[in-house]
Chains A and B, each alone.
Chain A
Amino acid sequence: MTENLETRLPVLNRLGLHARAAAKIALLASRFQADIILERDGVQADARSILDILGLGCPQGVEVRVRAQGPEAEQAVEAIADLFWRHFGEQG
Chain B
Amino acid sequence: MTPLAVREVWPHNKVLKGIPASPGIVIGPAYVLGERNKVRITHNYLDSRDEVEVEIHRFRDAVAHTRKEIADIKHSITDEFQEHAYILDTHLLILQDKLLYDETIRLIQEEHINAEWALKEAVKKAQALFNRIADPYIKSRIQDVGDVSERVLRRLTGGSPLNLRNLAEPVIIVAVDLSPVDTTQMSTDQVKGFITETGGKTSHTAIMAQSMEIPAVVALEKATLEIDNGDTLILDGLNGTVVINPDANMLDIYRQRKKKFEDFKHDVGKCSFLPAITLDEHQTQVLANIEFQEEVGLALDYGADGIGLYRTEFLYLRQQQLPTEEELFEDYKTVAGMMAPRRVTIRTLDIGGDKFASHLEYAPGINPAMGLRAIRFCLKEHSIFRTQLRAILRASLYGQVRLMFPLISGMQEVVAARRILEEIKGELHREGHGFDPAMPVGLMIEVPSAVMLADLLAREADFFSIGTNDLIQYALAIDRGNKYVASMYQPLHPAVLRMIKQVVDGGHAAGISVAVCGEMAGDPLYTPILLGLGVDELSMNALAIPVVKRIVRHASMEEAQEFARQALQHGSVEEVNAYVTGVMAKRFPEVFIFGRELASAAA
- A→B interface (CB under 8 Å): 12, 15-20, 22-23, 26-27, 46, 48-52, 54-59, 82, 85-87, 89-92
Which residues of A are found within 8 Å of B134, using beta-carbon distances?
Answer: 57, 59
B585 in the interface, Cβ–Cβ < 8 Å? no
The closest CB in chain B to the CB of A50 belongs to: B93
Q: Interface of B with A (CB < 8 Å)?
A: 86-87, 89-90, 93-94, 97-100, 126, 129-130, 132-135, 137-139, 141, 144-145, 313-314, 317-320, 354-355, 357, 360
Residues of B within 8 A of A92 (CB): 355
Query: What 18 additional pairs, Cβ within 8 angstroms, besides A52-B98, A85-B357, A91-B317?
Result: A19-B141, A20-B86, A22-B90, A26-B97, A50-B94, A51-B100, A51-B126, A54-B130, A54-B133, A54-B141, A55-B129, A55-B130, A57-B134, A57-B138, A58-B138, A82-B357, A86-B320, A91-B313
Nearest chain A CB to B443 CB, angstrom units: 25
State the 4 A-B residue pairs at the shortest beta-carbon distance, nearest first: A57-B133, A86-B357, A91-B317, A55-B129
- Alpha-carbon separation in the docked complex, A58 to B139 (Å): 10
Known: A19-B144, A20-B86, A27-B93. A49 touches B357 (CB 8 A): no
Determine if B138 and A89 form an interchain contact, defined as CB atoms under 8 angstroms apart: no
Known: A51-B100, A57-B134. A18 touches B141 (CB 8 A): yes
Chain B positions within 8 Å of A18 at CB level? 137-138, 141
Interchain Cβ contacts under 8 Å between A and B, 7 examples: A20-B86, A50-B97, A51-B97, A54-B130, A59-B134, A86-B320, A89-B319
CA distance A85 to B314 in the complex (A): 18
Chain B residue nearest in CB terms to A52: B99
| A87→B89 CA distance, assembly (Å) | 19
Interchain CA distance A17-B135 in the complex, whole Å? 10
Choose from B135, B145, B314 the contact partner of A57 (Cβ within 8 Å).
Answer: B135
Q: How far is the CA of A27 from the CA of B87 in the complex (A)?
A: 14
Whether the Cβ atoms of A58 and B94 lie closer than 8 Å is no
- Answer whether A89 and B318 are a contact pair too, CB < 8 Å, given A49-B99, A54-B138, A82-B357: yes
* Of B129, B130, B138, B317, most A-chain CB atoms within 10 Å: B138
Query: A89 CA to B89 CA in the complex, in Å?
Result: 16
Q: How far is the CB of B23 from chain A (nearest CB, A)?
A: 27
**Are A51 and B90 neighbours in the complex by a CB distance under 8 Å?**
no
Question: Closest Cβ of chain B: how far from A92's Cβ, in Å?
Answer: 8
A89, B321: Cα distance in complex, Å: 9
- Specify which of B94, B132, B138, B319 is in contact with A16 (CB 8 Å cutoff): B138
| B355–chain A nearest beta-carbon distance, Å | 7
| Contacting pair B90 A89 (CB below 8 A) | no
Residue contact B357 to A51, C-beta cutoff 8 Å: no
B97, B100, B313 interface centre (most CB from chain A within 10 Å): B97
Flag if A23 contacts B90 (CB, 8 Å).
yes
Q: Chain A contacts of B138 at CB under 8 A?
A: 16-18, 54, 57-59
Q: Which residues of A contact B132 (CB under 8 A)?
A: 55, 57
Q: A residues within 8 A CB of B141?
A: 18-19, 54
**Bound form: Cα–Cα A90–B354 in Å:** 12
How far does the Cβ of B509 sit from chain A's closest Cβ, in whole Å?
A: 39
> Smallest CB–CB gap between A50 and chain B, Å?
5
| Residue of B with least CB distance to A48 | B98
B87 interface neighbour in A15, A17, A19, A22, Cβ under 8 Å: A19
Q: How far is the CA of A15 from the CA of B318 in the complex (A)?
A: 15
A1 to chain B minimum Cβ distance, whole angstroms, is 27
| Complex alpha-carbon distance, A46 and B138, angstroms | 17
Residues of B within 8 A of A58 (CB): 135, 138
B98 touches A49 (CB 8 A): yes
Q: Least Cβ distance of A36 to chain B in Å?
A: 14
* Cα–Cα, bound, A87→B565 (Å): 49
Query: Which B residues are CB-close (under 8 A) to A20?
Result: 86, 90
